[in-house]
Amino acid sequence: MKYKQRNMSMGLRPLTLLIRNLLLQRGTIRRMTSEIDKEELKKRLTPLQWHVTQEKGTERPFSGCYNKFYERGTYTCIICDQELFSSDTKYDSGCGWPAFNEVLDQGRVKLTKDTSNFGGNLLLLIANPDMVRTEVTCSKCGSHLGHVFNDGPKPTRKRFCINSASISFHSAGEEKKTPS
């Protein structure tokens, strides 16, 4: 069972990760993939986390716990704990969601064109091609994280607009798990 990372004491987290990694190596627990046990996941997540990550929802602007949060550390996927963003690339874009101008590694996210805001109206899509968004999902488990836009600060000009409900935060200095 995965515990809420931000509420776990610093002393238990390394031990929990060690046990989890040993169980993964032995095959006792299954890796998070597209074969995630949806019922178990639904019990573990809040209704908002489920809506955002599994139904491609969006939390209300300025409501997420990481919007005005600036501690040093790493942000991970709430579902599979893959490291995604560093606090070094986080900035206040004023959009109401946590914004990052870079991913830790491009292979950790999948970018897909998203035309869902047109509701299938092809004329609206043709008339407004610049309104096509790019969805950001976790490359490891496929969870919806948010969207990326090309209106961020230099040098990348990227604004990864990420829902707080889709990520966890790990403070700097906290022992990180080894990549599996």
* Cβ contact 48:165 at 8 Å: yes
* Cβ contact 102:89 at 8 Å: yes
* Cβ contact 32:141 at 8 Å: yes
Provide the annotated active-site residues.
Answer: 161
| pLDDT (0 to 100) of residue 38 | 87
Identify the top-confidence range among 3-7, 39-43, 63-67: 63-67
As given in the structure block, the two tokens for residue 106 are 């491009």
Above 80 in pLDDT, residue 11? Answer: no
Percent of the chain at pLDDT exceeding 70: 69
Q: Return the DSSP state at 26.
A: H
Element at 162 (helix H, strand E)? strand 159-162
Residue 120 Cα distances to 56, 115, 148, angstroms: 16, 8, 21
* Cβ contact 52:59 at 8 Å: yes
